[in-house]
Structure 1
């Protein structure tokens, strides 16, 4: 049950960032410190591109199971291509999530040093326009992500471009998510309570009800942004980097009321990642004042990612 029907997180406008970068940084950072989440309107991604992406997402998942499963690569952690329904499970959960998804990663040139870590994308021939549309959307997410990271850096007292090198050619993943209709008596939830692994997540499609965050007092609060806005949340890598100054908040996607469980749900998160060899070390400015360093041992982003993928069942 929802504790309230009003969205817990007030929207911000990315258009304000150009006029007053410091004020926007303070507002974004304040929302992250309070909730681990922010709602960002006016992000600048072309609505026509987003509309094409939604149509192609639905068309892909509407295809027969055997067509989709041709793009499933067992043992690769779902890094690219298709992951079938019921495989992923939230850390510590007893029921698998009620979803299937497709992953698009970064396209790297031949001979790039990250190619061993970051596999090539898979591209279906149908629906037509799939590759061109999602490469364009990936680039758009990348651009918005850099603007948001610049604001985060300002909020933390860092240079506005501090994150630029840290995420250059980063292992970011765009996920096309389909939560199929479920029977009225279906157990579990569409996505169990979890935190994201990455630096920050940019999510389109959360205006469709179901996304909730776990507040400090144990209540589940709904996140329902204005149409076209995106939800942005702190991931575990940023939480670790900032020594929990910016918290990675537990969240979930709940099933709709029984009478609406025959309706599918779609969303598109972009998991913005650090470069694989970036060393995650606690920022000095986030230690002290009753907040001792929780993570004295640094870890590379790639090591951390694989550790967590094993925990959620996507890698053995």
Structure 2
């Protein structure tokens, strides 16, 4: 990877993948997806064309409303669920403003997750959303396996078994407003640990450092689309052929830094 710069360009030509085309096992769509995963490590995923688009898009909007309600709860109440206090795994819980580091442990436990009641009240909706995303990622695994010519025993979906427990996570994110004098990169540049990440956001702020580039580029949100990225796990499974790109969150130049909500589900092997 070349050196990182402070360029504020917008990403041009970020590939768009039609999810219905993946469901239909369209070879051209699979090839386009493979090219995007090799060259960029990021791509848009269009949910508007699928047969269940109305249901899935409604679930997405419900999660936006859910996280706004969640983060509007009193701070002292949220701190009862401090992620650094309620368990060793650090996969569940509340992380307050200003804290973005810790030693997470990826693992599974039979212990129930300690969570606010608002989660149980909305559990059917959350489960329906995660199931819809599981169907989307399964179609991506299938398409990439076909495009790569992988045979049974080596196909990517065989390493992602929905019938087995895994520490896949849904992160609900709130970025607070920043005064002009404090503006800077909100997040540390990083790659994702899992195999695929599905991000939904309405406000710009995500930046990606493409393979072989030295300029940070903004990825503009699109209505009805997820911003997808290849994670380290997928790159590892393909011996580095599929690219896991560095990315971060940074305030767009010349724009007011307002409260920003987004949510990301990360698929972990």
User: TM-score interval w.r.t. the shorter chain?
Assistant: 0.7 to 0.9
1:124·1:130 contact (CA, 8 Å) conserved in 2? no
Alpha-carbon spacing, 1:21–1:174, altered in 2? closer, same or farther (3 Å) = same
Matched, 1:27 2:48: no
Aligned CA RMSD, in angstroms, stands at: 2.7
Unaligned runs of 5+ in 1: 92-104, 106-113, 275-316
Structure 1 range deviating more: 24-33 or 167-176 = 167-176
**Distance across 1 between alignment mates of 2:160 and 2:186:** 30
* 1:29-44 matches, cutoff 5 A: 29-42=34-47, 44=53
SS at match of 1:40: strand
Any idea what the Cα deviations from partners look like across 1:1-57, whole Å, max 9, x if unmatched? 654345440312111224443222111110011111111112646111111110010
Matched with 2:243 is 247
SS at match of 2:131: helix
Q: Choose from 197, 201, 208 the match for 1:213.
A: 208
1:151·1:160 contact (CA, 8 Å) conserved in 2? no
**Distance across 2 between alignment mates of 1:242 and 1:40:** 21
Matched with 1:59 is 69
Matched, 1:198 2:202: no
**Distance across 1 between alignment mates of 2:108 and 2:8:** 46
1:202·1:269 contact (CA, 8 Å) conserved in 2? yes
Any idea what the Cα deviations from partners look like across 1:248-283, whole Å, max 9, x if unmatched? 11011102346512x111111110111xxxxxxxxx
Matched with 1:72 is 82
Matched with 1:153 is 145
Unaligned runs of 5+ in 2: 1-5
Instruction: Normalising by structure 2, report the TM-score.
Output: 0.82
Any idea what the Cα deviations from partners look like across 1:139-190, whole Å, max 9, x if unmatched? 2211211111111212222148933342223321111111111222115422
Q: Which gives a bigger RCO, structure 1 or 2 (Cα 8 Å, sep 6+)?
A: 2
1:80·1:119 contact (CA, 8 Å) conserved in 2? no
Instruction: Normalising by structure 1, report the TM-score.
Output: 0.71
Matched with 1:48 is 58
**Distance across 2 between alignment mates of 1:172 and 1:128:** 18
Matched with 1:110 is none
Alpha-carbon spacing, 1:142–1:210, altered in 2? closer, same or farther (3 Å) = same
Alpha-carbon spacing, 1:217–1:163, altered in 2? closer, same or farther (3 Å) = closer
Alpha-carbon spacing, 1:67–1:24, altered in 2? closer, same or farther (3 Å) = same
How many residues are aligned here?
250
Report the Cα offset of residue 127 of structure 1: 7.4
Report the Cα offset of residue 193 of structure 1: 0.9
2:70·2:118 contact (CA, 8 Å) conserved in 1? yes
1:123·1:130 contact (CA, 8 Å) conserved in 2? no
